[in-house]
Structure 1
């Protein structure tokens, strides 16, 4: 998972795990499918224009559109970059952007964006009258869009484009524009004009609520850059920022270092590992003969080796030795991390905060480290009985004290107690899942997907699929490009949502020389105003299907694409007129709410009935099979919750004002041990203390890479899981306990969640605002439907410590 970049230019891309890289070949070409798309669109348009007596053709056209949507993803295609259809005709430009037709034009686009931004900077600095000052917010928002429309695409190109010349151009464009953007973030003149606009009642008095939120976000970003400091203090701030950047890079480089200590393991102890894993270890490891004739393998415990040994090796001493060597981590990474944390504390205190945690949380829902602590402890108190019960069961299974190196081994054995379950994949073809998402969004929000044929040069690889998002009236709301299969030319970004272009009102733009010429395909007119359409790209690393077979997804793949489509729908519906707060441009501890809520829909029997059927027979997915898979996964979910809580608590401690720096090098390991021994994580249970406790000599913090991108904010994913569960219970599903996958309306205590009324409530109170309203206000509004007490709604709207404590007491789904 990757957080939004802060400052003038922001973008969101949420990452998870990757997949195996292969090449896909098949029979039907996308060119042929493109002709079907054009034919279907013509038929659909004709049938829509027919008289009321032509209801049957309209219905048939809708069904044909659904078949085409499914086939767009399920029919195999040829992936050869030399395919005639891929390069045929004059290129329209990447993502339908006329400036992105070649690497050279992409470089020029970066230069043009900087020129446009500089012209807007001049307009801001020249503002004198109340009306000119009032335009400052609009100018900065327009400036941000001008830069992001190129920078965000550059970041996308660097990750997914197969052509190295495009990648080099994107690297150059991104690097130069990033430097320019950082200059803007520390531009004293711009900051002063924002302050003048906000402090002048004749100006700010006419701001809309969203405009005020945009102005506040710019002011906060400037002040986090130390721009309000005296010259000497600001110089120190800049130096600290540079040092933090260097230490962050050094810490991440430390993750790539091979462990410097091998573990001697008798070869016979690897017999329980999968044969291909054991063979890979043998081929990459040194061996020697012991005096008794046994073969000893000098095993290097990297992530791959440690995962399989800890899960499959039956010899406990071997598991312990591998665990300790693996968790010892990189001493250099520890040194870099401690330097990074020290400089972050100094930076925060330089701008007037008690700690980096206080600085990072100032504009988040949590607002302060104390509020985060209240949330985490409330959640831990709720979960302790669950994870203690799981540990007791593991203890009983082993018949002795359980230690950290027993976890994966014992859990894997218990997961297989009932034998292997039949695969769900035959019921979950990619085309059926995308069709199910379209049907779901139509029922909830009145919007759906429409398959679209890309123009020459619009996409970067033949496997990319293009979707139009349209409303009930057939009006275009935005575009989604889906690049979902693993390939060698793709960076290991896992699953990601890239905002290539934000929704924004453009008819009131400030005219400047060299300003963007919005192409007709990207702009629509609504109620006399013109809006730039949002464009997002979804990236996944799904396994490439076998020849002649549609892509068949695992249950994890299904949850992944539902999750990422939650972000995409936020971008599509969060059109509030301003770039800087559009869609997913909202606080990091609120941005995951829509996507995690989508995971609840993925597990609902009512939603599964929309799409889950066998790709050969169309037989519906047996819900009993889903129930068994869900039960198997939930059996040990409390352990995953414990791990997330621990990491969130450690993140908070590392970013507090008490860093134990005076105790000398290695202090981060002592903090790690303190957190692991906190009573909130085992509640006095001896078994839990043994299972979760600190292991002397380990330095797990050296592997905690999220400390770089999510400093003091790692709690956010847990926080949004709880918020999503509450909205699922109180808005979409009633006050039931979470027992999904039981057929029948209301039999599971949960009515049909496919409620347009509930969908409209969530759309209007959460999605449509983007980042343009205090998230606590949005949360209070969406929950204020008669199922939550007035006192609790009032506490939530205030968003103080009582609100965080209340959220910590809410039921955590899947526990």
Structure 2
């Protein structure tokens, strides 16, 4: 990285406690930064591969673990910005760099001299006297090379590299197309009648969205989930609900240059070809090989059993909503743009409270405090705000995470508000992972630098950000992921934090959600934004009683998406992806009143990269684990039982991927769970056949 044209701030992070100096990096810096970092990494790889000494764990595996530090830093800054604060310059480079990075890593994975060293260590691993963590790291590298095509003939290697490069490009374009559709659509409302039924907090958010778009006086319904969902919930204007809903579900399927159907078709064909090159029956079989589920049959078995229960529950819920519609003197069926509206009315009738009544007690600031408090009670850490550290956007907050003895454990960044430069959804990522290795510059180990990204509606100036209960759960969920990164205590970067099996990675996040509704947390942090008064006990009791309300709808939305994902990746190449989606839903008996949580053209988990491809099921797989894991606390009678919390930290949150997930879960709980606790948590009727089935 000695090239004078490269901005040193890309790789020399000397901001607060080692934070990157985001304010010193410009968009124009990334292209030369990548170019130099790729050359430097290639030289490091060549040095490892061509080392004249016999391969050892240190001179090969450890060397690989610390190689490419500059590339990791440039990449972390760039991909962080591409997701959370992008623009045309960044998007253009993303389309260029995604396939280039794929080609770079394919070349490494197919380096015969390098694989020979890894393979030699793998073959004699039993005689190397490795620790459990070292065995896991060696296994990860060996399997990574095999999956990269290291054992394939040269011609097939070249084809695999070409496939991976094309897939990387398609993934970048898919996500950009969805963001483009989200940014380009809004429903402008100026007539008071158009606002009928909308609570004040939503009108404030819509007014702020309109101002951001240059409209000083009107209101805007946008496709940000924090606006579209409450609009669908509260608006009494069925015509406007239908218009907004159809725009929401049509993202990625609007024709023209942003249409994703052709990308999906090509992606599925390439993934199927890749799987066959690597010796697998399907892409799903390839992706599941290193997971707890292991096989497509195991995944589909769980999903279909849950589906049967969830569908029956959803049909009961639909009938109840239909009665409400009839009571209003209307005769239309329950359509997808009706469900949230009438479900809210039914909840208000059943539990005597509404979302608008609850929301004044769920201030963003207080829920953030609650997240930190729970982490302190369970794991003994404290979040200290840093006021003068520049982040990648003015809205982003910076915190030091300190252990009980005051030592610095991690840095945490919270990016909570929606904006047009940010992709939708919520996620956790890292700028830097925890490890204990000695780097080339002589420093020993690094602390994690973790960030959470959410898309809550930004309030008007001087007003608090108020969350829905689902928003609050999302915040807890993403902070659970963050804790998985920040509490990591391993030696090697590749198994740090969230470097675990895909169907285990959601356990720490989904488990953490449980503490949001622990009564003593709600009693302390659910306080009215105007009066400071705690949520009345009768309202708190109603909130807790309503935790499983609408469970059929929620589970059908999710499970249908997971089953379509599995269908795509077990069938292989398909000519018409939307026809396949339709066939799967018809075979399932998908209620006409509900749609998939993520329709195929905007299913970013699956097609904007392959992180959750053939893996969307993992949220439910982990939910089986998290429901059972929280039961460990319930069985003690104390949601913060210190003995159980210590076991949780030592066996789940701190070990990353350094131990097999089944083993580490059994070390915490003593056994693997079945789905009983999960279904009970959801409030779904129990199927007898599920009682003894494996997770």
* Band of TM-score, shorter chain: 0.7 to 0.9
Query: Counterpart of 2:686?
Result: none
Higher deviation after alignment, 123-132 or 753-762: 123-132
**Alpha carbons of 1:812 and 1:143: their partners in 2 closer, same or farther (altered >3 Å)?**
farther
Partners of 1:607 and 1:754 within 8 A in 2: no
Query: Counterpart of 2:4?
Result: none
Query: Counterpart of 1:620?
Result: 534
How is 1:457-536 mapped onto 2 (pairs within 5 angstroms)?
Answer: 458-486=390-418, 490-507=421-438, 509=439, 515-516=440-441, 518=443, 530-536=444-450
Give the whole-Å Cα distance in 2 for the aligned partners of 1:251 and 1:171: 10
In structure 1, which of residues 585, 606, 611 is the aligned counterpart of residue 520 of structure 2? 606
What is the RMSD computed on CA atoms of the aligned residues? 4.5
Residue 234 of structure 1 pairs with residue 147 of structure 2: no
Deviation of 1:192 (Å): 2.5
SS at match of 2:291: coil
Deviation of 1:678 (Å): 3.2
Partners of 2:291 and 2:501 within 8 A in 1: yes
Give the whole-Å Cα distance in 2 for the aligned partners of 1:543 and 1:381: 35
Q: Could you list the runs of 5+ residues in structure 2 that have no partner in the other structure?
A: 1-12, 183-190, 211-221, 684-695
Query: Counterpart of 2:660?
Result: 774
In structure 2, which of residues 678, 681, 684 is the aligned counterpart of residue 813 of structure 1? 681
Partners of 1:496 and 1:564 within 8 A in 2: yes
Give the whole-Å Cα distance in 2 for the aligned partners of 1:394 and 1:599: 28
Residue 732 of structure 1 pairs with residue 633 of structure 2: yes
Residue 220 of structure 1 pairs with residue 147 of structure 2: no
Higher deviation after alignment, 369-378 or 123-132: 123-132
Query: Counterpart of 2:615?
Result: 713
In structure 2, which of residues 357, 371, 385 is the aligned counterpart of residue 437 of structure 1? 371
Query: Counterpart of 2:295?
Result: 368
Give the whole-Å Cα distance in 2 for the aligned partners of 1:650 and 1:161: 31
Give the whole-Å Cα distance in 1 for the aligned partners of 2:399 and 2:223: 40
| Deviation by residue 1:514-541 (Cα, 9 ceiling, x = unmatched) | x4464xxxxxxxxxxx431111122334
- Count of aligned positions: 628
In structure 1, which of residues 200, 215, 230 is the aligned counterpart of residue 124 of structure 2? 200
Query: Counterpart of 1:583?
Result: 497
Query: Counterpart of 2:273?
Result: 346
**Alpha carbons of 1:544 and 1:335: their partners in 2 closer, same or farther (altered >3 Å)?**
closer
Partners of 2:282 and 2:569 within 8 A in 1: yes
TM-score normalised by the chain length of structure 2 = 0.77
Say which one has the larger Rg: 1
Query: Counterpart of 2:650?
Result: 764
| Deviation by residue 1:482-532 (Cα, 9 ceiling, x = unmatched) | 2334456x524543322011111133x4xxxxx4464xxxxxxxxxxx431
Higher deviation after alignment, 301-310 or 335-344: 301-310
| Deviation by residue 1:461-493 (Cα, 9 ceiling, x = unmatched) | 4544322222222222111122334456x5245
Query: Counterpart of 1:124?
Result: 48
| Deviation by residue 1:724-780 (Cα, 9 ceiling, x = unmatched) | 111112x1112xxxxxxxxxxxxxxx8220111111111111111111122121222
Give the whole-Å Cα distance in 2 for the aligned partners of 1:302 and 1:547: 22
Partners of 1:485 and 1:541 within 8 A in 2: yes
Deviation of 1:115 (Å): 5.6
Partners of 2:484 and 2:656 within 8 A in 1: yes
SS at match of 2:399: strand
**Alpha carbons of 1:173 and 1:375: their partners in 2 closer, same or farther (altered >3 Å)?**
closer
Partners of 1:136 and 1:194 within 8 A in 2: yes
Partners of 1:497 and 1:568 within 8 A in 2: yes
Deviation of 1:559 (Å): 2.2
Partners of 1:733 and 1:752 within 8 A in 2: yes
SS at match of 2:570: coil
Partners of 1:106 and 1:170 within 8 A in 2: no
TM-score normalised by the chain length of structure 1 = 0.67
Deviation of 1:369 (Å): 0.3
In structure 2, which of residues 305, 315, 322 is the aligned counterpart of residue 378 of structure 1? 305
Give the whole-Å Cα distance in 2 for the aligned partners of 1:541 and 1:325: 15
Query: Counterpart of 2:25?
Result: 103
How is 1:135-284 mapped onto 2 (pairs within 5 angstroms)?
Answer: 135-143=59-67, 145-160=69-84, 180-201=104-125, 205-245=128-168, 247-248=170-171
Give the whole-Å Cα distance in 1 for the aligned partners of 2:93 and 2:25: 6
Query: Counterpart of 2:688?
Result: none
Partners of 2:224 and 2:455 within 8 A in 1: no
Deviation of 1:99 (Å): 8.0
Partners of 1:439 and 1:610 within 8 A in 2: no
Partners of 2:486 and 2:497 within 8 A in 1: yes
In structure 2, which of residues 565, 568, 587 is the aligned counterpart of residue 678 of structure 1? 587
